[in-house]
Structure 1
Amino acid sequence: MMEDDESTQVLTDEEYSRQKWWKLLLIIGVCLNALVVFTSDLGLDTHIHLTYATVEAGQGEAALDWGHTRPIDPLSSDPSYAPVKEDGWFDFIGDSPNDVRLLSFAITLGFIGLLYKQQQLELAVMVALYPTFIFSTGRGYPEVFIAVMLYAVVILIAHECRQEDVNKARLRALSIAVPMAAIVAVKGMSMWWGLPFGLAALAWFEAARRSPTFATWASYPTKVAVVAGLGVGALMLVMGFFGPGNTLSVIGDEPVRFSSALLIAVFDVLVIYALFGMVLWPFFGPAIKGLSTTSDLEVACIAGLIAAFAAAITVYVAALWTYESLLWGADWPLMTWTMGNNGRYISLLLIPIFMMLKRMNDLGIEVPCLENPGEKYRSLMIGLALILPLSILAAVNGQTMWSDEAADVMVLNMEEGEDFLFISETTLGMHWLYTFHYDIDPFGNNNNTGHWRADTTDWHDELVNGTKVENRGGLDDVEWLVIAPGAGEAPEGWGLAAQGEADFLNGGGTWKVYTTHEEIWVY
C-alpha cells in the first residue's frame, strides 16, 4: 500500500513540476510579446493599412492617396490611380501607430488570458511563444486576431457536434458565419462573404443529421481532409487558369514559375512555419496514424477545416510570390526569400490543430497532445527549446525602418504643397514609400505627396527636365529627394539634408535625403 502511495506522489510531483515549467514559459512568452511592442516598428503591410485608416479619417474615403501599391506602371507611383477600399484590417486598427500597437498587444494578451482561464495552459504557452505571433504582434499584423476568430470557429464546431438540442445545434452551425465574416473583412473582402461559410456549415451538419450514410462518411477525418484539401486546391487552380485578372490569374499566365513557387511554398508554409514553427513535428506521425483509425464527426470537421485552409494558403502564397516577382521584375527564385514571411499566414491553424489532437486524445485514441504528450514530452520540450531563440530574436530585434529617420528631417522642413520623390529598388518600393506617410501627411490635409520611382528608371529626366510619362505622377512640386541605400545619386544642384545607415537586416548601406531648400532644421 505504501508503494502505491509513493508511486502516486511521484506522479503528482512530476505533474506539478511540469505545470511550473509551463507557467514559466508562459511568463516568458508574455514578456516577449510586451517587449516587441516597444522594439519593433510597424510592418510594411501595416503602414499600408494605417494609410487607409488615416486617409479615411481625414478625407472620408479609404484610399492610398499616393498611389496604389500595384501601380499600372510597375516602376513608378501614380497618385491618380488610388482605388477606394471598402473593407480591411484598417477598419479595426485605429488611425495612429500607438493605436495599432495597443490593439495588437491587447488582442495577443487577451487571447493568452482567455486560454489560460479556460485551463488551456499549454495552448496559451504555444500562442505566447510562437515566433510568428510575436513577429505579428510587434508589426501590427492581424495573424493573432485571425487565430482568435478561428478558435471561435472550432468552439462552435465542437458545440454543434455535441449539442443534443437540434435548434441550438443549428444556431451554432450558422453562427460560424460571424467569426468567418471577421476573417474575410480583415483580408479586404465584404463581411457578407462570411455568410456562405455559415450556410455551408449548417448544410453539412444537417446532411449528417438526416443521412446516416453521409454521417458515417463525414466522421472519417482522413476522407474529409483529403476531399477538402484537394477540393479547395483544385478550385483555386481552376480560378487561376480561368478567372479574371487577380493574383490567382498568374497561375494560368506563368504556370512554370508558379509550379516552382508552389514547391517552395509547401516547404516554407507547411514545413518551416507549421511543422517546425508550431512544434508539430513530435505529433505528426502519431496524428496521421490516429486520424486514419478515428471515426468522429467533430475531429473530421476540424481536420477538413485544417486541410482546406492549408491548401488555400499554400496555393495563394505561391501565386502571390509569382505575381509580385513578375510585377517587380525581381530575381527568381531569390524573390521567395524576400517574401518568405508570407508563410506566417498558416499560423491561423495553430489552434485548430492542437484542439483536434486534444479531442482525439480525449476519445482514447493513442495520439499525444499538448496537455498529455506522453512519451513525446521530451520531443515537445526540444521543439520549444529550438523555437525559443527565434522568439527572443523576434522580440529583441524587432522591425527597423530607416525611413523613420529620413521622414523626421522632412517633416521639420516641408512646407504645404511640397512633394518628395523616393528612389529605391523595385521590390516592395511602393510599400516602403508608405512608411513615410504617417509622418509626412497622415490625413491628407497638408497637400504633401510622396512619389516613387524604381532606380532603373530615367527619373533624373523626369525630375530635372519635367518630362511626363504616362501612368506616372508628375514631379513638378518635388522639393525633396530620398534615395534608398545603393539606389543612385542626386542630380546636380540638390543639397544633402541628411544621411544615415540602414540596419543590417534591412540590407545595410547609406540612405540620403536631398532638398532644394538652402536652409533646413535638424534635430
Structure 2
Amino acid sequence: MVCIMEQGNSVHRRRWALVFLFGFLLHIYAAIHSDLGLDAHVRLNALNDEVAGGQDLTWGSPRVSGATNVDTNTVYDGYIPPWNTSEAMMKITAITSLVLVAALASLRPHHRPSRLEFEPKWAALLMLSPVLVFSTSRGYDEAPLALLMGLGVVGFWFNRGQTSAQQRLNGIFMATSVLLVMVWKGFSPMASLAVWLVMLMFTEVWLRVWNTGKYTGEGQFFGNPWSVGGLTFCVVYIGITGAGFLSEVGTFSIIADHPLQFLIASLFALLDTVVLYLLVGCLLWPYLVQRWQGLRSARGPGLTMLVVYNSALLAGLVAYVASLWTLEASLWNMSLASVMVVLGNNGRYATLLLLPLVALLRWNDGEDETRSAAEDRRSIHAIAVVVPFLLFTTLVGHQIWSEDAGELLAESWQEGDDSLLLIAPESMAIHHLYVLKSNLDLDGSQSIQGLWATPDTASGMVETYQDTLDYVVLAPGTSIDVNITSWTLIGAHEVPVSVPGGIQDGTWALYRLPTR
C-alpha cells in the first residue's frame, strides 16, 4: 500500500513538473514577442547613457511636473544590475530570478515531516501567473525584488523560530532583506539604514516580551499572531503616513498635500495588491482557503514573527502604491480614478510578498501535505480563472506605440539631425520619450536633444525651437494648434493592440520639419 501511494505521489509530482516546464516556456515565448516595458526603458537609458557618467536621465525625469521637460535632467536613484545593458539581459534576469523564486517556494521546509524534498506544484502555479508573465516579459524588476525579499524568510525553511537564537537570526534576515529592497528602489541610504536598525530593535524588544511570558500566554493579545499582525499593519501604515506629513521630498511627501486622496488610494491599493494581484493573479488563494483554519489557531513566537513580517511589508506596500497614485495624479493633473486605471498594474508590486506569504502558508504545524485533493481541485479552478489573462498576456504580448515610432524614427534619421519633439499628454509621456531614445541614441553618443511638450504648449515649443527641431512625434489621439503645412509626414500608424494602461485608440504620427 505504501509503495502504491509513493508511486501515485511520484506521478502527481511529475505532472506538476510538466506544468512548471510549460509555464517556463510561456515566459520565454512572451519575452520574445513582447516589447520592453516603459519603466524598463527608463532604467535601460539610465544605465547605458555614457555622456555624463552615472545613472543619468538626460532627457528629463519621468516624474516631471509641468508641461515640458526642458531643464529637467536628473539621476536615477535606484539600483540597476550592471549587466542589464540590453533588452535581452533585462528579460533574462527577470526570468532567471522568477525560476529561483519558484524553486524556493517549492522546497520543503526542513522542519516539516515529509519525504518530499521538492513540491513542484508551488512552482508550477507561480509560473502560470499572468502577473509574473506580465512582469518578466517586459523586463521588470518584480522577480529580482521578490527574490531579495524572500531572503527575509529563508530562515523559516530551516527553523520554526522557537529559540531566541533562531528568532534573532530570522530578525536579521528580515531587516537585511528590507534594507536591500529599499536601496534597490531608490530610497536614501540613511532612510534604509534607519529602517534596518528599527527592525533589529523591535526584534530584540519582541524577544524580551516573549521570554518574559507575561503578555504572550494563551488568550492574551501578544500571544495571538494575528492580533499582533493587525497591530503591526496599523502601526507601520500610520508611521509611514506621519513620515509623509513631515517629509518635503520623496514619494511619500505627497501625503501632506493630498491626505484624503492618499487615504482613498490606500483602500483601492489594498484590494489591488492583495486580492487581485497576489491571491488571484499569483494563484495562491487555494492555499489560503484550505489552510486558513489551521493557521488561525496556530500559535508560537516564530509564527508571530512571520505574520508580523508579512503585515509590515503589506502596510508599506499599500502606502507606497497609494503614494505613487496620488503623486502621479498631481503631476499629470489627472483624476485619481484615471491614474488608478493607467497605473493599475502597480499592484504587481505585491509580488514582493510571494516568498513571505508562501512561508506563512507552508507553516502547516506539522501537517503532511504530500497531496491534498481539495487543494488540487482549487488549484485547477485558480488556473481556469486566470487562463484568459494568461493567454492574452502571453500570445498577444505587449507592444507599445513608441517602440514602433522609435524604429521608424531611427530609419528616417539623417546625418546632421540632432533634435526631436514628442507632443503627448502628461501621462507616461517621458517614459515614451525614453523609448524613442532607446531606439535612437541609447548611449548618448550622438548628443541628440529629446524634448517633450503637452498639446497645449506645443505651439510655443515649436516656435521656440523651430531653428533646431528636426522631427516631431505626435502621440496617439493628440491634436495641436500648429500650422503643419510645411511639415513632411513620414508615417502615421494605429497603436498596437496592447499598450500600458489598457487598450488605446488613435494614430501616432512622425513628421520631419523643413531643413534649416
Classify the TM-score, shorter chain.
0.7 to 0.9
**2:366 corresponding residue in structure 1:** 363
Paired residue type of 2:366:
L
Secondary structure of 2:248's counterpart equals: coil
238, 242, 247: which one aligns with 2:246: 242
Secondary structure of 1:23's counterpart equals: helix
* 1:505 partnered with 2:498: yes
How many residues matched? 494
Q: Report the alpha carbon displacement of residue 169 of structure 1 after superposing the two structures with TM.
A: 6.9
316, 324, 330: which one aligns with 1:326: 330
Pairs within 5 Å for 1:161-240: 161-162=160-161, 166=165, 170=168, 173-190=171-188, 195-196=193-194, 199-210=197-208, 211-213=211-213, 220-240=224-244
How many angstroms apart in 2 are the aligned matches of 1:158 and 1:209? 20
Secondary structure of 1:59's counterpart equals: coil
The Cα offsets for residues 371-424 of structure 1, whole Å up to 9 and x where unpaired, read as 654533312221122123322322222210222222223223243461100111
Pairs within 5 Å for 1:33-182: 33-55=27-49, 57-73=50-66, 75-78=67-70, 80-85=71-76, 87-92=77-82, 94-113=84-103, 119-157=118-156, 159=158, 161-162=160-161, 166=165, 170=168, 173-182=171-180
How many angstroms apart in 1 are the aligned matches of 2:398 and 2:125? 22
**1:409 corresponding residue in structure 2:** 408
Paired residue type of 1:108:
L
* 1:316 partnered with 2:313: no
**1:424 corresponding residue in structure 2:** 424
Paired residue type of 2:151:
A
How many angstroms apart in 2 are the aligned matches of 1:264 and 1:171? 35
Give the TM-score of the pair, scaled to structure 1: 0.85
Paired residue type of 2:130:
P
264, 270, 275: which one aligns with 1:271: 275
Q: Report the alpha carbon displacement of residue 235 of structure 1 after superposing the two structures with TM.
A: 0.9
How many angstroms apart in 2 are the aligned matches of 1:495 and 1:81? 29
The Cα offsets for residues 189-225 of structure 1, whole Å up to 9 and x where unpaired, read as 3567555555455444444545333665766311221
How many angstroms apart in 2 are the aligned matches of 1:289 and 1:112? 25
What's the RMSD between the two structures over aligned residues?
2.9
Q: Unaligned 5+ residue runs, structure 1?
A: 467-473, 519-523
How many angstroms apart in 1 are the aligned matches of 2:216 and 2:154? 20
The Cα offsets for residues 66-94 of structure 1, whole Å up to 9 and x where unpaired, read as 11122242x2112x222234x42424452
User: Sequence identity of aligned pairs in percent?
Assistant: 25
Q: In 2, are the aligned partners of 1:241 and 1:251 still within 8 Å (CA)?
A: yes
Q: Unaligned 5+ residue runs, structure 2?
A: 108-116
> Cα–Cα, structure 1 residues 321 and 72, in superposed 2: closer, same or farther, change >3 Å?
closer
The Cα offsets for residues 239-275 of structure 1, whole Å up to 9 and x where unpaired, read as 2333224332333322333333223222222221123
Moved more, 386-395 or 136-145: 386-395
Pairs within 5 Å for 1:4-19: 5=1, 11-12=5-6, 14-19=8-13
Give the TM-score of the pair, scaled to structure 2: 0.86
**1:297 corresponding residue in structure 2:** 301
Moved more, 478-487 or 413-422: 413-422
Secondary structure of 2:73's counterpart equals: coil
Q: Report the alpha carbon displacement of residue 45 of structure 1 after superposing the two structures with TM.
A: 0.7
Secondary structure of 1:482's counterpart equals: strand
246, 262, 265: which one aligns with 1:261: 265
How many angstroms apart in 2 are the aligned matches of 1:304 and 1:422? 47
Q: Report the alpha carbon displacement of residue 347 of structure 1 after superposing the two structures with TM.
A: 1.1
Moved more, 338-347 or 182-191: 182-191
Paired residue type of 1:59:
A
> Cα–Cα, structure 1 residues 91 and 24, in superposed 2: closer, same or farther, change >3 Å?
closer
How many angstroms apart in 1 are the aligned matches of 2:510 and 2:172? 55
Q: Report the alpha carbon displacement of residue 237 of structure 1 after superposing the two structures with TM.
A: 1.8
Q: Report the alpha carbon displacement of residue 344 of structure 1 after superposing the two structures with TM.
A: 0.5
Secondary structure of 1:307's counterpart equals: helix
Paired residue type of 1:363:
G
**1:482 corresponding residue in structure 2:** 473
How many angstroms apart in 1 are the aligned matches of 2:490 and 2:459? 19
The Cα offsets for residues 83-116 of structure 1, whole Å up to 9 and x where unpaired, read as 234x424244522222212222232234445556
Secondary structure of 1:446's counterpart equals: coil
> Cα–Cα, structure 1 residues 122 and 299, in superposed 2: closer, same or farther, change >3 Å?
farther
